[in-house]
Structure 1
Amino acid sequence: MKIEQIHHVAYRCKDAKETVEWYGKYLNMDFILAIAEDEVPSTKAKDPYMHIFLDAGKGSILAFFEIPNSPPMGRDPNTPEWVQHLALSVATMDEMMSVKAKLEADGINVLGPTDHTLFKSIYFFDPSGHRIELAVNVGTPEMNKKLDAVKWEMLEEWSKTKRAPKHADWMHEKARSS
């Protein structure tokens, strides 16, 4: 068996309607499906929910659950805010910078663009507090080949030392110097 693609990725949201409207307004994602039940089909728990699905492009689906009878949403206090995020691809820098301008015009803080050599990206939070990254691929086949050649060696070194291997240090040289 080989996985074909991600069917959907689901997160919790504070407000389903607000989430649909926000992702439509800022990321141009179409609202494609809603499912609501009073009982969770997999667990049979009596817990009403609204499950919404958004088109993330090329067959990718981003889904959210609003679950009003659960305690308020929180974050894992032991995981830094920057770690858990959803990275979405856009085609061009112009598109990414246009989204950045729209977000900032509405008072939403945006970090970046950050140059990762293979891609450039911006970071911001949705209304439920999920960190979102928009990324534009700018890497070359040569860069990808160079990284592919060292991935196993890097993983082995990390596994033994828990220190960042330096095989791909070249990727963030620009970021460190700016």
Structure 2
Amino acid sequence: MKIARIHHVAYRCRDSKETVEWYRKHLDMEFVLAIAEDRVPSTKAPDPYMHLFMDAGNGNILAFFEIPNSPPMGRDPNTPNWVQHIAFKVDSEAVLTEMKARLEAQGIEVVGITDHTIFKSIYFYDPNGHRLELVADTATPAQMKQLDDVKWEMLEEWSRTRRAPKHAAWMHERELANAA
């Protein structure tokens, strides 16, 4: 079996209406579907929920559940905030720059533009506390080949040592030199 694509990715939200309005306003996503039940179809547990589906473009659906009878949302305290995030691709660096200005004009704190060599990105949070990233690809075919050529070696070295292999350190060397 080969998976055709991701059907949707689901996260929790605090307020369904606020979430739909925020994603429409700030990321131009269309609200495509809502499902609400008093029982969970898979487990039959009595747990009312609202399930929202937002069109993230090109057949990608970002979904949310509001589950009011559960304890308040939280994060895994053992996972740093920067790790778990949703990254969305934009068409160009110009769009990335425009989106940074647009978000900041709406009072949303934005980190970046961060140069990862093969892409540039900005980071910010939605009203539920989910970290989001917008990405503009900048990679050359040669850079992608260089990374492809070392991926298995890097994985094996990491698996043995749990230390960052240096095969792709060139991606952030400029950023690190500028920070020093």
Q: TM-score range by the shorter chain?
A: over 0.9
The residue aligned with 1:70 is: 70
Residue 115 of structure 2 corresponds to: 115
The equivalent residue for 1:38 is 38
Pairs within 5 Å for 1:7-156: 7-156=7-156
The one-letter code sitting in structure 2 at the alignment partner of 1:72 is P
Where do 1:148-167 residues align within 5 Å? 148-167=148-167
CA offsets per residue over residues 134-171 of structure 1, 9 Å max, x none? 00001011111100000000000000000000000111
The letter for the 2-side match of 1:15 is D
In structure 2, distance between residues paired with 1:42 and 1:175: 47
Identity of aligned residues (%): 69
- 3-state DSSP of counterpart to 2:172: helix
| Misfit runs of 4+, over 2 Å | none
TM-score (norm 1): 0.98
The two structures have a TM-score, normalised by structure 2, of 0.97
Higher alpha-carbon deviation: 114-123 or 90-99: 90-99
Shift of 1:99: 1.6
Name the SS of the counterpart of 1:107 in structure 2: coil
Letter in 2 for 1:47: D
For residues 31 and 177 of structure 1, the distance between their equivalents in structure 2, rounded to whole angstroms, comes to: 43
Structure 1 distance, partners of 2:55, 2:103, is 20
RMSD: 0.7
Q: Alignment partner of 2:173: what SS? A: helix
CA distance in 1, matches of 2:33, 2:101: 29
Aligned AA (2:105):
A
Which SS does the other structure have where 2:112 is aligned?
A: strand
Would you say how many aligned residue pairs link Structure 1 and Structure 2?
178
Q: Deviations over 1:5-50 (max 9, x none)?
A: 1110000000111111100111000000000000000010101100
Shift of 1:115: 0.3
Q: Which residue of 1 aligns with 2:168?
A: 168
Letter in 2 for 1:128: N
Q: CA deviation at 1:174?
A: 1.9
